[in-house]
Amino acid sequence: MGRITLDKVTKRFGDVEVIPPLDLTIEEGEFVVFVGPSGCGKSTLLRLIAGLEDVTGGQIRIDGKDATETPPAKRGLAMVFQSYALYPHMSVRKNIAFPLKMAGMDQAEQKRRIDNAAKVLNLADYIDRRPGQLSGGQRQRVAIGRAIVREPAAFLFDEPLSNLDAALRVGMRLEISELHERLKTTMVYVTHDQVEAMTMADKIVVLRAGHIEQVGSPLELYRAPRNLFVASFIGSPKMNLISGSEAAKRSASTIGIRPEHISVSPTEGLWKGRVGVSEHLGSDTFFYVHDTGLADDITVRVSGEVELRAGDTVYLTPDAEKIHRFDQAGLRLK
């Protein structure tokens, strides 16, 4: 259960084509993340799968059955919203029971499922409270609880962590991953945060302006970005992109090198520059190196602490194996 196929799916709002014809298959049990900058159409795509928007053209199949015209209630999908969308007038228990009540499930089975969800998500302490009395993280759990009790064919998550503070976000990220491990249900997850995408996904779908730029596992995307957009979108800090003579030397229009693939030396190296701002994170140090004669500042990531001050001269050497080459159209060169 839970194979979703998009076949030439198109969405137009008036004259604006938000999603040009798009093909995608989400395999059963897969954790798929749609990632891209805001306005790339990732949320629209999710809402098309949910049935909250009509497709303009194409077909959506769920487990092989055409669901293009099926109303959202009948698609057997559950969704967790960015705002959690809990029913404020119902207790946590009633919130979770709502989809079961709508399905006309008998009381005993309802209770069994709710208790189970409460156990899995640790909701027991506040099961009789209203959403207004809960913290952000607790609300998030309730929203997930409401989704899992239905035992849906697939879960849809629309930027579920963006309203949480940083620490909580990391915790919930783990919990959702663990939930996926346990349930093995298909999950489709939308986010603009590439870190979430990298850490959670089995498969990442990078979107820009409604187009799929690349589909692949997190490491595939990291190791072999298909084009400049994916290259600069995946990875933090961003990949350094260099064009001009340095790129021409390697018979490319643009070359890219990730900050962690550059070694630093005070005495010798390929590129000479001057240290600007440095950011010390303890485990890592980021340097912004000016005046390298290359296009822009070069970001360098070094493990541990390194004693370099602003204004010091440094030499940088990229790891030749890990240089990415792109042609004039921005596509990866083999």
Partner 1 sequence: MARAVSTRRKLIVTLLAWTIGIAIFFPILWTVLTSFKTEAEAIASPPSLFFFDWTTENYAAVQSRSNYGLHFSNSVIISLGSTLLGLLIAIPAAWSMAFVPGKWTKDILMWMLSTKMLPPVGVLIPIYLMFRDTGLLDSRLGLVIVLTLINLPIIVWMLYTYFKEIPVDILEAARMDGAALWSEIIYVLTPMAVPGIASTLLLNVILAWNEAFWTLNLTAAKAAPLTAFIASYSSPEGLFYAKLSAASTMAIAPILILGWFSQKQLVRGLTFGAVK
Partner 2 sequence: MATAHSRSAARLMISPAVILLLGWMIIPLSMTIYFSFLRYNLLSPGNESWAGFDNYRYFLTDPAFFDAMGNTFILVLGVLLITVVGGILLGLLLDQPFFGQGIVRILVIAPFFVMPTVSALVWKNMFMNPVNGLFAYMATAVGLEPFDFLSHAPLASIILIVSWQWLPFATLILLTALQSLDQEQLEASEMDGAGPINRFIFIMLPHLGRAITVVILIQTIFLLSIFAEILVTTNGGPGTATTNLTYLVYVQSLLQFDVGGGSAGGIVAVILANIVAIFLMRMIGKNLDA
Considering the complex, state which of residue 154 and residue 314 has its C-beta at the smaller distance from partner 1.
Answer: 154
State in angstroms the smallest separation of the CB of 275 from partner 2. Answer: 43
Q: H/E/C letters for each residue in 61-122?
A: EECCEECCCCCHHHCCEEEECCCCCCCCCCCHHHHHHHHHHHCCCCHHHHHHHHHHHHHHHC
Considering the complex, state which of residue 47 and residue 180 has its C-beta at the smaller distance from partner 1.
Answer: 47
Considering the complex, state which of residue 111 and residue 211 has its C-beta at the smaller distance from partner 1.
Answer: 111
Can you read off the two tokens belonging to residue 187? 């999950």
Query: Contact between 282 and partner 1 (CB under 8 A)?
Result: no
Residue with the two structure tokens 């959690």: 84
Contact 156, 77 (CB under 8 A): yes
Q: Which residues bind partner 2 (CB under 8 A)?
A: 51-54, 71
Considering the complex, state which of residue 79 and residue 257 has its C-beta at the smaller distance from partner 1.
Answer: 79
Contact 62, 76 (CB under 8 A): yes
Query: Contact between 52 and partner 1 (CB under 8 A)?
Result: yes
Task: Name which of residues 138 to 167 contact partner 1 (CB under 8 A).
Answer: 146, 150, 156
Interaction partner, residue 264 (partner 1, partner 2, none; CB < 5-8 Å by kind): none
Interaction partner, residue 317 (partner 1, partner 2, none; CB < 5-8 Å by kind): none
Interface residue with partner 1 among 15, 38, 64, 88 (CB under 8 A) is 88
Considering the complex, state which of residue 53 and residue 196 has its C-beta at the smaller distance from partner 2.
Answer: 53
Considering the complex, state which of residue 69 and residue 279 has its C-beta at the smaller distance from partner 2.
Answer: 69
Can you read off the two tokens belonging to residue 196? 């979430």
Query: Contact between 315 and partner 1 (CB under 8 A)?
Result: no
State in angstroms the smallest separation of the CB of 273 from partner 1. Answer: 49
Can you read off the two tokens belonging to residue 280? 């010390």
Give the CA distances from residue 181 to residues 27, 56, 160, 197, in Å, rounded to whole numbers and listed in that order: 15, 35, 18, 16
203-208 vs 186-191, strand pairing mode: unpaired
Q: CB within 8 A of 63, min separation 6: which ones?
A: 1, 2, 3, 153
**Can you give the binding site for partner 1, defined by CB under 8 A?**
50, 52, 71-74, 77-79, 81-83, 85-90, 98-99, 102-103, 146, 150, 156
